[in-house]
Structure 1
Amino acid sequence: MVFAEVVMTTVIKHLGEHIMTTLDWEKAEVFCLLKNAPGTQYQEADEAGQAEIRAWVKGLLITSEITVDFVKADGTERSMRCTLDSNRIPPVPAGTIFKSSTANPDGLAESKKPRKQPDPHSVRVFDTEKGEWRSFRFDRLQKITAELDFAAK
């Protein structure tokens, strides 16, 4: 296995559109720093650029376990090992009732709170170290680290 910062040059193929490469992202981030830009590449991008970054990061999350470094809402920095790969997320035991839910007559958990519209600028991920679901905002991302396995399967 090889460890790499901000990985995989072609993680996802989204309808044949341009795929952001590791080098593209790193160059853009360095350029933002050199020109004293106030934000990250995500913050500086237009809506299409932001959508491309979100798709790229979600592609990494779906296929692997990555570490994301980001700034939390309270201003503290956090590093989180996370994934959306269903093979790496433990199944929920049958009959589990979550603390913010109640069981309906069918035995299924129902939330007490009304569902919010999903925020396109954040993603809900499984924190593999805490064993719980967490989220982060794309505009607060500082670094992505992933593991690459070049061995033939």
Structure 2
Amino acid sequence: MFGRLFAAAPLLILAACQGTPQQPSVTVTDAVVTVPAVPSAPGAGYFILRGVGGGGTLQTVSSPRVERIELHETRNEGGMTRMVALEQVAVADGEVRFEPGGKHAMLFGVDPALKVGDRLSLTFTFEGARAVTVEADVRGPGQAHANH
């Protein structure tokens, strides 16, 4: 009897290690917001999204100190650079970078009291994964990658 139990032990351990599939999730890292050079102009947001277990789809980004945040992408088409609004961004297993010259968030109606060196709370809402709230470093215009 004990011989059969010991013989079955490796199979039980292997089954336990496989467990249930990992729930889809997305993490947000390296969040940086640049305040606008002109108070009435939009600011910009940059970050890295990492999906696990199938990830999710980024629907919105919001902040209590910003009127609205839109997702955009800078594209070069036929030698012309233009910005295109993105309704959502799929984040599968792997990462999606929001960085200058590519995908980014545009922050409209930024609280004028927000200053370089502050932290700004950003909430990322996903379809298929839990919402994530992070604190972004606030930097000056053109300093998105300073000390980054």
* TM-score with structure 2 setting the length: 0.23
Higher-strand-fraction structure: 2
Higher-helix-fraction structure: 1
